[in-house]
Chains A and B, each alone.
Chain A
Amino acid sequence: MSARLSRAWAILALPLISIGLSVIVGSLVIVFSQWLVTGELQAGLALDAYGALVSGSVGSERAIVNTLINTMPLLLGGLAVGLGFKGGLFNIGVQGQFLMGALGSVIVGVQLRESPALIAIPISLVAGMIFGAAWGFIPGFLKAVSGAHEVVTTIMLNFVAIAILAAAVSGPLNVIGSQSPQTLPVGNASLPVILGRNGTIAIIYAPIMAILYGWLLFRTTRGFEIRVAGASPDAARYAGMSPRHLIIWTMSVSGMLGGMAGATDLLGATHQMTTTYGTTVGFDAIAVALLGRTNPLGIVLSALLFGAMRTGASAMQIQAGVPADLVGVLQATILFFLIIGPVIKRIFRLKDAKTGLEDSATTFTATYGGEATIR
């Protein structure tokens, strides 16, 4: 095996093995749940289900566009979580930032629904990013001034975001006379479709954000500071960097990406908001970032995988009769196997990868352990 190949394997082994194992676990779940209900053991059912999942996500042009459009919020959310990890912060609050971003874009989008699209779209999108950034700034600021752990504060803020959203939609944003509380549609602020029936320009700007993410981290001095602070907060302090400043900055930009994910979903897909508005994108984004090992290309690929699974889930339910919720099982088991990476590495006798990447699983646990060394 050439050096390049073995290096690539060292990087890809754990994610690929995790995906493979989760597929196996998924088929066991499919076959045994069928057996429990009907008493029949049909090994082929798993194949049928996965076949439907694949063809439903990439089997036709329409499926591919749907996969792409489902991928983009996951990609932006994955970048948000990934940036936090790079900086040694576990932003578990992308969900809340996503909701606030959607809220910000719907507030502005409804106001601008009759303005020219060229004005309405960028302003609504930026409003979502600002709302998300503000929602990321709060935990960053709290950690910088008091050491409050971001895992705790961001989880709390997720609930606050849900409540604010419900209050806003049923209150000031509610359209008088509607059956159940909901906002007006965003009209001209809707993202224009450029591909197929519903492929919006998010297909263009979200990948650009992934490129900017890589550029920020590896080409700028700020990115260097973030990576140093993430890899060794003590070394960052020694080097004369300001950890407090970096924490606030990183959390705000991470929140901005989360807000952009929410704005993308709202302006591109739902166009209006109800009190039950919400997805699991913010949480799936954590798995996306971990599977992609916080690397920009890795996050793009893992977002595509998760986007494809979401898209193919309904086809799987219709064609194979396997509930769409199986996709949740797959995503959760991938995350599970990633987190128990050290065990997997031992079982599969993987050498420790001496790659250019900081081990995201290590970052994960190190962050979660909560060693807040701020002065």
Chain B
Amino acid sequence: MTSESPQVGAPALEMRGITKRYPGVVANDSIDLDIRPGEIHALLGENGAGKTTLMNILYGLARPDEGTILIGGEEVRLTGPSEAIRRGISMVHQHFMLVPVLTVAENIILGEETTVRGGFLDRSEAHKRIVDLGRRFGFEVDPEVKVGSLSVGWQQRVEILKALYRNAKVLVLDEPTAVLTPQETQEIFEVLRRLAAEGHSIVFISHKLYEVLEIADRITVIRRGKVVGQRVPAETNEEDLAEMMVGREVSLTVDRGESHPAGAALAIQGLVVRDDRGREVVHAVDLEVRSGEILGIAGVAGNGQDELVEAIVGLRKPTRGTVSLEGIDITGLRSRDVYEHGVGYVPADRHRFGLVLSFSIADNLVLTSYHRQPYSRGLLRNDEAIREAAEERIKAFDIRTPSADAKAATLSGGNQQKVVIAREFSRDLKLLVLDQPTRGLDVGSIEFIHKQIIAKRNAGTAILLVSAELDEILDLSDRIAVVYRGKLVGLRDGRTAEKNDVGLLMATGGRANGDSAGGETGSAA
């Protein structure tokens, strides 16, 4: 306990000795947590540390096996979310629970409709309250606007408004910055500070260390279901927190070393790609990735990165332009043929694309090479070779599993991604396309995967890295290309790039500060 914390007072919320067991695992092991009024309290921990379980208990979605919850000093039994909301606890989810086709006001009053006689909605009253609340906390939003037309950052504010509309005193935000640009993150931090100043308590769940240090008044670190310590930002640093979180020393910055790029491996010229709805989302992109270098593509999600990647690996037919690999034209080839030319691909969504969750690890490890020697003999599978390769890769990539026959679904997120990485990295590659390779992973797994990426680059593979995590791009890339609305709007050197500069390019496309990147657009090498 740090008694010298700025806000001293009776806790707004207290969790005492919370224990929750699931078959074979203690998700929460006598956790104590106290949240003071007007405090921003960060809950830090790796995936699977027990943060989500604890918050589900707080939100009434799960019952603790032991322990008590006190709100304003009064012991409560939270039987469900509606009870939690009634007690002033509200949750802003990682994936927004908003209905895009409804307006801001409709979303906010959903489930809490003020009705006048006869069951009609009293809109004017609701509108007034929404506008008032927004004004009070410094983010006015038009109640009549459809939520679907708002940016992600503003959608998040609508979620917060929704909580405030229900008179929340304690707001739980689950990884609120995961989908935001650095600028949007700063804006949401402003909002949170205003809320805290008005006496609201904020529980801020995250695994991003620097953010936690910036925003929190106090930080509670959880590891394997237990509280391992509490800090105030002034008395700690990223290394200290990471060590508490992981339980061992971790290196936060990747030692990317020198790169020695050779000739162009991937060359893209005038590539135009349409999305599923037929809209042109990649506009005449020129890009070059050399062997032995990492080219990072920075951009807010949904600026055409997905379609660009899909067009490169043959999952989407480009409308115009060419893609060539070491001088061989691979435009419009089927993905199988693109892979055969020496392209490895780690897709963004490992659950949907990268893995078959109901299949064994061994089967998943040959998902893209099952048809080749030695995994197949003619028309038959060679189970022995598949098994041998699996054992080998499980060892080489430190995949924690009881056996190669275990279903992919039983692995943790980090180990699932290691299966994908092991599969793609083990092939004979000229180009490696990585789409969000560490999204949602814990610090330990990220560290491991980053090292593998660097090793692959040093071995002379060309690497195209797409990530929504700007820090990942800055840490790993030798060169950085910024995409904005389907265009490359800037190219920076990976070692000298400024975070703010790249962040601004991502958010505005370079118009705001007159950075006319047009001249260097894609003029790679």
Contacts and interface: CB of A to CB of B under 8 A. Distances in A.
B354 A238 contact: yes
Contacts of A220: 379-381
Contact of B368 (A219, A239, A358): A239
Contacts, number: 67
A240 B339 CA distance: 8
Nearest to A241: B336
A238 B347 contact: yes
A242 B333 CA distance: 13
Interface in B136-193: none
Given A221-B370, A238-B315, A238-B347, A231 B379 contact: no
Interface residues of B, number: 31
B509 to A, nearest CB: 30
Given A220-B380, A220-B381, A221-B376, A358 B358 contact: yes
B356 A231 contact: yes
A224 B363 contact: yes
B461 interface: no
B367 interface: yes
A280 B335 CA distance: 43
A238 B350 CA distance: 10
A375 B334 CA distance: 11
B344 to A, nearest CB: 12
Contact of B381 (A221, A241, A375): A221
Contacts of B381: 219-221, 223-224
B407 interface: yes
A289 B88 CA distance: 51
A222 B367 CA distance: 13
A291 interface: no
A346 interface: no
B356 A240 contact: no
B335 A234 contact: no
A354 interface: yes
Nearest to B405: A356
B315 A237 contact: yes
A83 B345 CA distance: 30
A235 B367 contact: yes
A33 interface: no
A232 interface: yes
B311 interface: no
Given A219-B380, A228-B367, A242 B334 contact: yes
A234 B352 contact: yes
Interface of B: 314-316, 334-339, 345, 347, 352-359, 363, 367-368, 370-371, 376, 379-381, 383, 407, 410
27 contacts: A219-B381, A220-B380, A221-B370, A221-B371, A221-B376, A221-B380, A221-B381, A222-B379, A223-B381, A224-B363, A224-B370, A228-B356, A228-B367, A231-B358, A232-B355, A235-B353, A235-B354, A235-B356, A237-B315, A238-B315, A238-B353, A238-B367, A238-B368, A239-B367, A239-B368, A240-B338, A241-B336
Shortest Cβ-Cβ A-B pairs, 4 listed: A240-B336, A238-B353, A240-B335, A221-B376
